[in-house]
Amino acid sequence: MVIGLEARRLLVMVVSCTVEYSGRTGSHLGEGERLVIVKGDGCILVHRGRDYQPVNWQPSGCIIQAQASNGTLVLKAVRPSPLESLTLVVKDVQFLGTFLLQDDAEFILHASEEEMQRAIILQPDVIEPGFKILDFEKKVPPGFVDVYGVDSEGNTVVIEIKKDPAGFPVIKQLLEYLKYLQAPPGKKLRPMIVAPSIAKGAQSALAKSGIEFKQLTLQKAVEILQKYARSDQQALKSWL
Amino acid sequence: MVIGLEARRLLVMVVSCTVEYSGRTGSHLGEGERLVIVKGDGCILVHRGRDYQPVNWQPSGCIIQAQASNGTLVLKAVRPSPLESLTLVVKDVQFLGTFLLQDDAEFILHASEEEMQRAIILQPDVIEPGFKILDFEKKVPPGFVDVYGVDSEGNTVVIEIKKDPAGFPVIKQLLEYLKYLQAPPGKKLRPMIVAPSIAKGAQSALAKSGIEFKQLTLQKAVEILQKYARSDQQALKSWL
DNA sequence: ATGTTTATGTCGCGT
DNA sequence: ACGCGACGTAAACAT
């Protein structure tokens, strides 16, 4: 008897089983009770009683077959490339249910770096009075300059934004960008890192690099966004 | 009314809910049906109908509170450090169950590097004819030499094993080990990397370093292990 | 189809 | 507690 793994349906079961994995490497898990989830897109998760991550799994896009014989159910999930297979031998089913999840909502992730950028664009003087934006996501060969503008005296300001404490990598990255940028005649090129703080060991390297640092916390950025955007505050006002 | 989140128990529910996350960054997910899992160690997973990974989650070790009011259940999972919170507003419960998973099995992951080492130890001439093992996991100040032996001419061979394509780090590591090793008088010291392949940019560095490269794939290693070990083939013969 | 980069990565280990 | 590297990382994005 073969269980029809209903297309588009979510299969949830609590079972006693063993799990074998073979592929990029291999694993073995003896008998025990686990929560098994099979999703409609052909991925499978085997969860134990603790830990965020499943003890065994197979990502979406693999072929799942199930067959029962002699009172045991064997679930097999094979991923074509890279070739790897997950095999569950189910001895005992404590719970089994299938669900059709009605879920059309859009998932919105607020990338804080993007919000910091938006805050600077909306209110450039958060950097310093008189700062004007010329461009953002400006293309240079190694990547994109987050914000590009001029200060009150006409000097070019090149801003790299970091949501985390600014460390060596961002210093290196910004120095790389500078190779492809230059200030107008008689003006200076002011490289600047905008971040909530400076990483522990990076203070002296930052000083030596000639890069300026301007503190901007996510909280401050959010305040600015709130001030300018009356709509879309729902996600923000539920802080606690 | 507050649901008692039974200690050590696994809570599984299929609900219609909204999810807000705020912490390292933030996210918003409108109403829809999802599978929610709360484990005994205080982690929470919100799964949609597709994809291996949960759409929202909180790792283990966070404080989970639940309160019901006006027909809606609010689940909150707060992680102290880094401070972040996940909030579910549950409108409708399609399924709810709690389970006590009896699971004492040990999870065994076959680290392929270890199996490559075992294959070399079982059959040293997989490296080259006449190669003899003197020691493995041999202690040197910076770490452990994977395999240590002599070739047919009495030269000392120092082997570092990598399961992934050998890159710069392993070259550096092996060179480090060499500082603490020396060949017998009149003999050579032969550093060697054993790996399935050489990483993209590492070819020339490897040549310059004076380190030899011997290809050994996991598959070849497994073949050798199979040849020598008649037992423990169960995990291997169930392919497909 | 393959390679590269990101991530609310998570997790384990060493200091 | 913090920093670092590994992971069967997975997934998105570019080639």
Q: How many CB atoms lie within 10 A of CB B227?
A: 11
* Average pLDDT for B230-237: 40
A104: pLDDT confidence band, cut at 50, 70 and 90? very high
* Average pLDDT for A27-39: 96
Round to a whole number and report the distance in Å from the CA of A52 to the C1' of C11. 10
Contacts with A163 from chain B: Cβ below 8 Å: 25
Asked if the model's pLDDT at residue A239 lies above 70, the reply is no
| CATH of span B10-99 | 2.70.180.20
Domain with CATH 3.40.1350.10 in chain A: 112-229
How many percent of chain B have pLDDT more than 90?
52
Full strand arrangement of the beta sheet holding A156-161: A132-140, A143-150, A156-161, A189-195, A212-215
Query: Which residues numbered 99-118 in chain B sit less than 7 A from strand C, measured from CB?
Result: none
Mutation choice for A interface testing from B9, B33, B98, B223 by most A CBs within 10 A? B33
Angstroms from B167 CA to nearest CA on chain A? 19
* Average pLDDT for B133-150: 86
- Residue whose C-alpha is closest to residue B118's, from B151, B163, B182, B155: B163
Nearest CA in chain B to A100: B49
**Residue B225: its pLDDT value, please?**
80
- Answer whether any strand C atom is within 7 A of the Cβ of B22: no
Q: pLDDT tens, B174-227? A: 888 888 899 999 999 999 999 887 876 677 788 888 999 998 887 788 788 877
- Residue whose C-alpha is closest to residue B87's, from B97, B78, B95, B96: B78
Q: Report the C-alpha gap between A75 and B69 in whole angstroms.
A: 41
Asked if the model's pLDDT at residue A234 lies above 60, the reply is no
**Residue B231: its pLDDT value, please?**
40
Q: Report the C-alpha gap between B183 and B194 in whole angstroms.
A: 20
Residue nearest D1, CA–C1′ metric: B81
Q: Which nucleotide is nearest to B60 (CA to C1')?
A: C10
**Residue B233: its pLDDT value, please?**
37
Between B78 and B3, where is the model more confident? B78
Name every residue whose Cβ is closer than 8 Å to that of residue B62 and which is 6 or more positions away in sequence: B42, B43, B44, B77, B78, B79, B80
**Residue A230: its pLDDT value, please?**
52
- Answer whether any strand C atom is within 7 A of the Cβ of B141: no
Helix-helix angle B112-122:B218-228, to 10 degrees: 50
Question: What average pLDDT does chain B have?
Answer: 87
Between A137 and B65, where is the model more confident? B65
Domain with CATH 3.40.1350.10 in chain B: 112-230
Q: pLDDT tens, B81-113? A: 888 999 999 999 999 999 999 999 999 998 778
Question: What is the torsional sign of CA B150, B152, B155, B158?
Answer: negative
Between B127 and A236, where is the model more confident? B127
**Residue A205: its pLDDT value, please?**
81
Cα Rg, chain A, nearest whole Å: 27
- Bases of chain C within 7 A of a CB of the protein: 1-2, 4, 7-12
Contacts with B52 from chain A: Cβ below 8 Å: 43, 45, 57-60
Residue nearest D9, CA–C1′ metric: A53
- Reduced to 3 states, what is the DSSP secondary structure of residue B90? strand
**Residue A238: its pLDDT value, please?**
36
* Residue A50 dihedral angles phi and psi, to the nearest 5°: -145, 165
**Residue A3: its pLDDT value, please?**
61
- Reduced to 3 states, what is the DSSP secondary structure of residue B177? helix
- Answer whether any strand C atom is within 7 A of the Cβ of B88: no
SS3 per-residue string spanning chain A = CCCCCCCCCEEEEEEEEEEEEECCCEEEEEEEEEEEEECCCCCEEEECCCCCCCCEEECCCCEEEEEEECCEEEEEEEECCCCEEEEEEEEEEEEEEEECCCCCCCEEEECHHHHHHHHHHHCHHHCCCCCEEEEEEEEECCEEEEEEEECCCCCEEEEEECCCCECHHHHHHHHHHHCCCCCCCCCCEEEEEEECCECHHHHHHHHHHCCEEEECCHHHHHHHHHHHCCCCCHHHHCCC
Domain with CATH 2.70.180.20 in chain B: 10-99
CB contact under 8 A, A108 and B37: no
Domain range A112-229, CATH class: alpha beta
Q: Which nucleotide is nearest to B173 (CA to C1')?
A: D5
Question: What average pLDDT does chain A have?
Answer: 87
A9: pLDDT confidence band, cut at 50, 70 and 90? very high
Round to a whole number and report the distance in Å from the CA of A109 to the C1' of D11. 15
Q: pLDDT tens, B34-86? A: 999 999 999 999 999 999 999 999 999 999 999 988 889 999 999 988 889 99
Angstroms from B73 CA to nearest CA on chain A? 16
Cross-chain CB nearest to B25 (options A40, A95, A111): A111
Tell how strand B26-38 and strand A107-110 pair up. antiparallel
**Overall fold of domain B112-230:** Trna Endonuclease; Chain: A, domain 1 (3.40.1350)
Tell how strand B189-195 and strand B212-215 pair up. parallel
Asked if the model's pLDDT at residue B7 lies above 80, the reply is no
- Residue whose C-alpha is closest to residue B192's, from B161, B220, B231: B161
In angstroms, what CA-CA distances link B186 with A10, A124, B153, B154, B183? 69, 71, 11, 9, 8
* Residue A95 dihedral angles phi and psi, to the nearest 5°: -150, 145
What is the 8-class DSSP label of residue B55? S
Q: Which two tokens stand for residue A162?
A: 């970091």
CA angle B25, A38, B29 (to 5 degrees): 25
Asked if the model's pLDDT at residue A15 lies above 80, the reply is yes
Residue type, B213: F
Round to a whole number and report the distance in Å from the CA of A69 to the C1' of D12. 41
* Average pLDDT for A89-114: 92
CB contact under 8 A, A102 and B14: no
Name every residue whose Cβ is closer than 8 Å to that of residue B230 and which is 6 or more positions away in sequence: none
Tell how strand A56-58 and strand A44-47 pair up. antiparallel
